[in-house]
Structure 1
Amino acid sequence: MGRTTQSLYFTGPRELDVREEPLAQPGANEVLIEAVVSGISAGTELNVFRGYAPQWRQHMDPATRLFSATEDPDWKWPARYGYTLVGRVAERGSAVTHLRDGDLVFSYSPHGAHAIVAANAVVPLGDLANPELGAFFANFNTAYNGVLDAAIPLGADVVVSGLGVIGQLATRLVKRAGARRIIAVDRLAPRREAARAGGATHTLDPATDKVAETVRELTGGRGADVVIEVSGAAPALNEAIRTAGYNGTVVAMSWYGGTFESLQLSGEFHHNRTRIISSQVGAVNPMLGPMWSVARRGEIVRELMDLYAADLAGFVTHRIPLAQAGQGYRLLDQGAPDVLQVIIDYRK
């Protein structure tokens, strides 16, 4: 038998399996990455893990970008998923000249001990001191993209709803963008404390605080200029609409999984002329013009990762080996209060 690797498979709703399978050779324009760590996303990946992602039931037409019900959905069990793999180049194809063996790189590859990817698709991480921090590259892009979509004016009053990793990063970037008040909202006290440390001027618990009313008290009755909604919870999106002031903006950064029982558009949304923006990381705000690209955004994110290295290191709460990946998903699925970023560590 030739060489093998271990890969994580989603085999059904909330079901995982680590499988040993053959490890191929990289093609001429590919590299073989030996994984060091990968991060479990508490948003998108949980939708996949729970079976909520629409691709399990629907097909997206790439031409029209419309989803439709089908008996032949885009995804079928078992499937691999994940997009935050950090590792070192172990082998290079004959045409790869811009990378060297041993280079630390990021790849949007599924969880597994190895990945073979196109060499021009990996992100060199350079002299990043702690490889774990590289696992935040994708989420940092998402957070930064949302702040770019929000177009926050200097001195704005901004609410960040949902203080997982992306919400924590958004809080810090909103501060950097020059917001006057940053009101961070989450049910979990440790996350509210982390947001305070990252620049939030006020924190609210939606279980006990009336968010929309309190924000108006804090802003002289106006409401928020911008609400960045990152929780992925339908009630939070409705409350974000209530929280935005007249002509205010709600940036919906989440991939809302499952069913959405009630989107309330008859009250504040209509009468306050609220604008809702979907922020999806696949493209940059077109209002920034042609000089802004996904590649340029990534270059800036790599610099920001160095600036916020201490914060990123503090976000990692759990490290688990690949064989115990299910434990990490269950912790996130159950909403354990002490969990923020779970890292799969292939060195274990």
Structure 2
Amino acid sequence: MTPMPHIVQFTAPGSVEVVEIVPAPLVPGSVRVATWYSGISAGTELTAYRGTNPYLTSTWDSQRRLFVPGEPSFGYPVQGWGYSEVGEVVEVADDVTALAVGDVVHGIWGHRSDAVLPAAALEGRLLPTDADPLLGTFARVASIALNGVLAADVRLGERVAIFGQGVIGLLATRLATLAGGRVYAVDTVPDRLEVARRFGAAEVVDALIDGGAGARIRELTGEGVDSAIELSGSDRALHEAIRSVVVEGIVAASGFYQGGAVNLHLGEEFHHNRVRILASQISGVPVGLGGRWDQSRLVRTVMALMLEGRLDAAALVTDVVDVSDVADIFRRLDAGDSAILQAVLAFERAPRSL
């Protein structure tokens, strides 16, 4: 008897579980994928786990592109989160020729054991047979990192501060280094700063240093960095990023900021140094690059770097846990367990030798 497919569900703030779902039917133009691995994006997904995501507290008006008071855009239980999946094609519609049973693909279909997807959505997302399948779980997060590096306009010989050395920050550190930038990596966790060194950071800075990381970076550089990328989602870090850049420097704000910003003082360095703050969010590429870059090119670029061995994303995987242990891994993430970098959920069909 074939087991029922299942999905990770946020049942209420602080509560996550695995529940059974009805299998989706195969339709023309589609394939069925059995999930092997699904990476957890701690920053975004903790907003659902904690109940802080703005979609849970207000209405997103897609026409006016505003959050407005009213019935929340969605409520608990929340299903389908997750955007870093790898799996095996197990069924193919009769009219699909680009994919075959047994192909291993990466994409976005959420923390679920079984997904029916348009074959077109997996175009260019086939993993080589000799590739580590865990690399596919980094396609989206590495694209977010690359988008931030592009937004910061990092160029050969320029200096860039990267605030937050979690998974995306470490990927950005490596990508900025590959782009020719001299990286100043900032975090509160010594182990993460050590990984940042291995990923190419020229200098590392303790975010809790007396006087602030911005002042320390100015001491190290003499005048400040050309640009900064903020990836921690902390308003205090965003303020320090502003303090770290030269006059008319760029700050790419890539974090998912929750709540207010009591530590952001726009009347200080931001105003006097004419700092440019740009929002970097994965739904779009930086203005000016739209004619050449899109999300597909971001994915192709980072996957090529990983498969060539120039971006060692797999080194960031610290925890591969059975999907049945999802509640425990989220409790650890919520508690700020600094030993976790990238946590990955493994499903029934995942290769167990990794």
Q: TM-score range by the shorter chain?
A: over 0.9
Q: CA deviation at 1:3?
A: 5.6
Q: CA deviation at 1:157?
A: 1.2
What amino acid sits opposite 1:218 in the alignment? L
Segment drifting more, 116-125 vs 32-41: 116-125
- In structure 1, how many angstroms separate the alpha carbons of the residues matched to 2:280 and 2:58? 21
Please name the residue that 1:146 is paired with: 148
Please name the residue that 2:59 is paired with: 59
Please name the residue that 1:75 is paired with: 74
Please name the residue that 1:25 is paired with: 25
Do residues 34 (structure 1) and 34 (structure 2) align? yes
Q: How high is the TM-score relative to the length of structure 1?
A: 0.94
- In structure 2, how many angstroms separate the alpha carbons of the residues matched to 1:169 and 1:186? 14
Please name the residue that 1:118 is paired with: 118
The 5 A counterparts of 1:174-189 are 174-179=176-181, 181-189=182-190
Percent identical pairs in the alignment equals 39
Structure 1 portions without partners, runs of 5+: none
Q: How high is the TM-score relative to the length of structure 2?
A: 0.93
Please name the residue that 1:256 is paired with: 257
1:234-289 Cα offsets, whole Å, 9 max, x none, are: 11111111111211111111111234334310010000000001001111123125
Please name the residue that 1:13 is paired with: 13
The 5 A counterparts of 1:1-348 are 4-71=4-71, 73-80=72-79, 81-122=81-122, 123-127=125-129, 129-179=131-181, 181-209=182-210, 210-220=212-222, 222-308=223-309, 311-346=312-347, 347=350
What amino acid sits opposite 1:158 in the alignment? V
Question: How many residues of Structure 1 are paired with residues of Structure 2 in the alignment?
Answer: 345
Whether contact under 8 Å (1:125, 1:302) holds in the other structure is no
Structure 2 portions without partners, runs of 5+: none
1:277-310 Cα offsets, whole Å, 9 max, x none, are: 1001111123125132222222212201213477
Segment drifting more, 134-143 vs 11-20: 11-20
What CA RMSD, in Å, does the superposition of the two structures yield over aligned residues? Answer: 1.7
- In structure 2, how many angstroms separate the alpha carbons of the residues matched to 1:128 and 1:172? 24
What amino acid sits opposite 2:36 in the alignment? V
The 3 A distance-change label for structure 1 pair 51 and 309 is farther
- In structure 2, how many angstroms separate the alpha carbons of the residues matched to 1:282 and 1:126? 27
Q: CA deviation at 1:344?
A: 0.4
Whether contact under 8 Å (2:218, 2:224) holds in the other structure is yes
Segment drifting more, 229-238 vs 328-337: 328-337
For residue 4 of structure 1, give the secondary structure of its aligned residue in structure 2.
coil
